[in-house]
Structures are given as structure tokens and as C-alpha cells.
Amino acid sequence: MLKKIINNTYWGDKIADTVSNYISYTRAHSENIFEPEDMENFFRQHDPFILGVWHGQFLLIPTIRPDDISASIVVGRHGDAELAAKVVSRFGVKAIRGSGAGGRRSMKDRGGAKVLMQAIRALNKGDCIVSTADVPPGPAQKVGDGIITMARLSGRPIIPAAMATKRAITLKSWSRLTINLPYSKCALVCDNPIHIPRDCTEQEAEQYRLKLEAAMGRVTKRAYELVGRSPKKIAPHWERSLKPGLGFTGYRLLTNLAKPLAPYLFRYRLRQGKELAEREQERYGIAALPRPTGQLWWLHAASVGEANAVLPLIETLLHRNPELHILLTTGTVTSAAEMQKKLPERAFHQFIPLDNKKFVHNFLSYWRPSLAAFVESEIWPNLIMGVKARGIPLLLINGRMSKRSFKRWFKKPGMSRPIFGRFNAILARNAVDKRHLISLGCENVILSGNLKIDAPPLPYETDELAKLRATIGDRPVLLAASTHAGEEEIIAEAHKMIALDYPDALTIIAPRHPNRRAEIVDTLTGERLNLQLRSEVKPPNRSTNIYIADTMGELGLFYALANLAFIGGSLIKHGGQNPIEAIRLGTTVMTGPHTGNFTDSYDELIRRNGAFRVHSAKDIAAKTIDLLQNPAQHEVIKEGADAALEYLSGAMEITIKTMESYLAPGSAPQQMTTKTIGSEKGPSTT
């Protein structure tokens, strides 16, 4: 109904006139304060510029334009934006209609690309642009990418700005929309302009985004300080109470009610091969090992990949701290088997208890850790609350938060804020993860980089490698590593194309989950290819076309064997798997388009020509044949890959320093040589 009224020519104009008159009246009947004092000359000095304001604090912004400066404002296409466009026109400000997706995936065209081009054209013509720095639907007061892109492509500076009045009404909208009231102090504060180079990298652009976000926070705080009003009035919901909401209360109630079902769940998982019968009690928080005396740290990793990533960390911590013991928990059978073999002395493995209040109590009461650290994205609400209730320092290391997970958590502030706000510190893998985690309520987030970059090469048996090389001889080899359902057929199709030029080619498929062996054989049967399973026939026969490596713990062996590897989980929408393991063993890497799980690694590798993307069986075959015909390319690619790894490294040192800051008194760590982080050698910690 409101949209129809606003769109009506007569009533829409009447409402716009009323709103604009109210805005003018409020400005005219307020005591105005400016920083810098000569605001008009400040604007003229930098004209044309992009004025960045928070979405919820824009009501009085159209009134600040000097008469000799031409300005346009970016507004959306929805109903209330139609009113905004009419209102700003009353102040001589033109409207550019459209908005970005705010990080959302949507089939609907919101006009983001078009509005960006219009804004750049306006800047080139000499217009200033007013743009909200945060993007609907939020998070509020978190700078989006749109304003950064606008500044980068136009070459014009961003001026962070904020307006506040002593008297105002703040609505409970996502952006904390504020209606300023007359007869009060009114402050306009601007910060120094921020220039963004056109040729900056994605990581550098993210640093400028963080710089703008910090500046926006400063001017907002200062404007409210000048008028004598608390900026907490407009705090977005992710900055609010740590008190658990209904979401967490409901979760705890459900997990308590489900406690009698735990044995049935265990038996169901046992039949699927996902549990070990002899270790059932560990799932209920009942320990199978004695607790060592002295200081004990507890690390939790979800599965094999995360556990392998922290193995070097565990080894270094134990070496540097002789009195320390480490308990590592995981949730999968395969990770348990791997860790039993790989964990060093003074480190041991247990299964993570089910996330029930009683099981958590059993676990924490027995082990009494002096530090708890979760790895990557393992978030168990009852465990987190239990740890903090006992005053145990809690960290999230190698922290990551996918867009999908972030959106899911962000919609539940009554659950996300109390949980994420209880971490003492979070070490985020990249700047996007850092932004997401801060938005969910984490107050101490450190940009550390990815621990998997610093992991040593995967181990392998040299005798077994020699046997494979002797059996395979000079046959061309393509490795498809960590494949998922839907990818093996594509690899088989690529093999047939390669075989047209190289009839003796061998393709090795090492699935992410070896227990899919029967499924893979069924899928590839009928492709007129000779298949063999490594679990049945150790070395491949001369007639083998596709060799399925369905064994555990041998991925390092096959990376050492093959010059070229396709890394799976990337031709389907899974998010990709770790490319670093292959590169550490000198293997050239190709990947599909879906690499969201390792965005930083792949982006840097591809930027430096240290890896390449493929989209189909035809692409895989063509690139494989090209490298077989031009083997010197491997060295060029290797140089780019090594440079990328050097740039991305450094997470291990940052993580160790952060963790050791929580050592108990009298447990001083040994000295360790450190390197500068934040230059070409690694990601910034700022």
C-alpha cells in the first residue's frame, strides 16, 4: 500500500515535499558543529569525491552540499528508495538508482553493475557521489565492496562522513535507521580522504576496505561525542548483548532431551563405519586414557585435513614447552586412525564428546584443560559455553566462515553473538573470514593466514614410490586427487581424450573418501576402460587405464609420483580441496572453478601463474596434453607456485605466539626467531 502511495505522482510528491521540509527544518533549527571547521572548503579541495556514510545515518546528508558542488546519491530501486530519490532531488542532488547484492546470491538483477558505471561516469563529469558504505541487508556498519570498487575504478577519493543530532529516534531496522529531531546539537564530521589505487590486488583492496571501516567508526563515534549522545544507540545487532537468546535456549533444550537417544545414534553410525565400538564411551565424555599431570591444552579438529594442519603446530608447541601436554580431539574414524600414528610424544587423541551438557561436563571435569582451541569452523554451542563457564581461555585457530555459514549464523543473533563473543581470540585465515567473524560477535580477531600453507609435505614411503615408478615406467600420468561424486566421470572422459594422443596414459583417481570405491567402480563401468583398485592390486598393470587409489594415508605418495594433479571438489559446488599439499611435493596443480574453501590460496596461485583453472573434461585433457608436449612449463609454473606459498606463509608463527600468550605462569616458552608479517612475506596482522 505504501509503495503504491509513494509511486502515485500526486501523493508521492506531497510526501517527498513533507519529508524534505522536515529535514530542512531540523537542520535550520539545530546548533551546527563541523569537523573540520571549514567544511565547505574541505569539500571543494577534494571535489569530486565519494562521500561514504552509514545506511542508517543518512537523513540529513542531502543538506550539506555547498551550492557550487554538483552531487549525486546512490539509492536503491525499492519503494522507500523511490521516496528517497524524490526527497534528495528537493536539495539539488541527483539520484542514481540501483544497488549491489550485498554479498547475496540472487537471480534477480539489482542493478549493481549499472549503478557502478553510472556513478563512475558522474564522477568523471565532476559530480560528487554520496554512497552508503554498508549494503542492505547488512551487516550494518561493515563496509561493503561496492564503494571500494567505485573509488578504485574512478580514481576519486572516499571521504568518510557521519552526522549526528543530540535528539533522535533510532528504529530497530537492520541499519538502525535514525530520524534526527530539531532543536538539538547537530554534528558533521569528516575524516581524511582515502585514495585506492586502480591496480591494487584483491588483498590490498581488502586492507583499504578495513581502513575505510575503521575511519567510518571514528567519525561516527566523534559525531555522537560532539552532540553528547552515546553511539551505542545505533549499535548494530551484532554488537549487542552476549546473553543467549531463544535460539540457544532451544538448542540446549533439544540436546538435553535427545540425551537418551545418544546410544541409538552411536549404533547407527557404527553400522555405517563412522564409529569405533571400543571407543563409544569417549562420545559421552568418559575418558579412555589417564590425564597427564601438569598443564594440558586441548585442541579440537573436525577431521583428517584439519588435524593434519595442526600437527606441525602441536609438534612445535611441545618442543618449545617441555612441561606441556596436548589432547587432540576429532570426530571421524579416519582422523582417529591417522592421529594415533602421527601424534608426537606428550600428545594423544580422544573422540570429541557429543554436544550434550552432561557429556560436556564429563569431558571437561576429567581433562581440566588450561586452554581450549577449536580449529577452522568447528562450533559446538554446549562445548563453548561449558569451556567459558569454567574460565578456560578459548581460541579459534585457522578460523574460517563460508558465505553460506555466515548468512545462516547472522540470521540468528541470539545464538551467534553469545557463542562467537565468548572466544578470547580468533585467528582468521583471511580478511573476508575476519570480517564475517567480527560481524558474528567476535571482538578480538587476528588476521593470521592459513596454517595449511605452513604445513610440511605429506609423508610417503620411498620404497613404495620406487616400486610404482618402476612399474609405470615412462607412461604419462595424470592424478585426480580428492575427487568427489560427479567428478570421476569427468576425469574418465578426459582420460579418453588424452589417450587419443597418448594411448599408454595412466590416470590415477584418489577419491576424497576411499570408501566410495564401489560407487566409483559402478560409475566408470561401461566406459570401456580397464579399472584397478589399489586395495586389490598394489601396482597398476601395464594395461591399466584408471588406477583407483582407494587406500588411506597415501596421498603424499601419489603427489610425489605425478607431475600433474587435478585437485577435486572443484568441478562441483563443494568448494575445492587443499592445493598446497600437491605443490609442496612439486606437483603442478589444476583446479575447477569452485574453490571457495581455499579462495586465498587459489587466487594467489593463479595470480602468479602457479596453478590454472579448468572447467570441463575437454579443458583437463587439453592442458594435460599441452604440458606433456611442453614439459618446460612445469618449471615456470613451479616458480609461480613457490612465490605464492612464500607470500601466503606466516600463520604458524602468529598462531604459536598467540597461543603461548596463554601459558600458565612459570611455563615460559623457549625463544623462537620471528619474521616480519605483513610485507611480501605474508598477510598483514593489522
Q: Give per-residue pLDDT as tens, 353-380.
A: 999 999 999 999 999 999 999 999 889 9
Q: Is the pLDDT of residue 443 over 90?
A: no
What is the maximum alpha-carbon separation in the chain? 90
Question: Which helix H or strand E contains 633, and what residues bound it?
Answer: helix 633-648
Give the C-alpha distances (Å, rounded to integers) separating 654 from 70, 428, 659, 674, 677. 48, 11, 9, 9, 9
Q: Which residues are catalytic?
A: 306
Contact 74, 130 (CB under 8 A): yes
Please determine, looking at this structure, whether the domain spanning 2-239 carries the CATH number 3.50.50: no
pLDDT, one tens digit per residue, over 375-418 is 998 899 999 999 999 999 999 999 998 888 888 888 888 888 88
Of the candidates 401, 488, 465, 489, which has an alpha carbon nearest to the alpha carbon of residue 437?
401
- The grid coordinates listed for 601 are 590460496
The answer to whether 49 and 147 have CB atoms below 8 angstroms apart is no
Peptide bond into 36 cis (omega under 30): yes
Boundaries of every domain in the chain: 2-239, 246-453, 462-648
User: Average pLDDT of 637-662?
Assistant: 92
Looking at this protein, which amino acid is placed at residue 187?
A
Q: What CA–CA distance (Å, rounded) separates 63 from 66? A: 9
Taking only the tens place, the pLDDT of each residue in 126-166 is 999 999 998 776 678 888 888 999 999 999 999 999 999 99
pLDDT at 591 over 60: yes
CATH of 246-453, one of 3.90.340.10, 3.40.190.10, 3.30.420.40, 3.40.50.11720: 3.40.50.11720
3-state secondary structure 550-604: CCCCCHHHHHHHCCEEEECCCCCCCCCCCCHHHHHCCCEEEECCCCHHHHHHHHH
CB of 520 within 8 A of CB of 509? yes
Read off the pLDDT of each residue in 558-565 and give the average, rounded to a whole number: 96
Contact 211, 150 (CB under 8 A): no
- pTM for the structure as a whole: 0.64
Is the pLDDT assigned to residue 559 strictly greater than 80? yes
Instruction: Please report, for the chain, how many H helices and E strands are present, in that order.
Output: 25, 23
The DSSP output letter for 665 is T
Domain 462-648 in the same topology as domain 246-453: yes
Return the residue matching grid coordinates 540436546: 255
**Which neighbouring-strand residues pair with 588?**
564
Spatial CB neighbours of 522, under 8 Å, sequence gap ≥ 6? none
Find out whether 321 and 351 touch, Cβ atoms under 8 Å.
no
Q: Tell me how far apart the alpha carbons of residues 417 and 199 are, in angstroms, rounded to a whole number.
A: 37
Task: Compare 612 and 112 and report the one with higher pLDDT.
Answer: 612
Please compute the mean of the pLDDT values over residues 278-290 and round it to a whole number. 96
- As a CATH number, domain 462-648 is 3.40.50.2000
What distance in Å separates the CA atoms of residue 417 and residue 419, rounded to the nearest whole number? Answer: 5
pLDDT at 152: 94
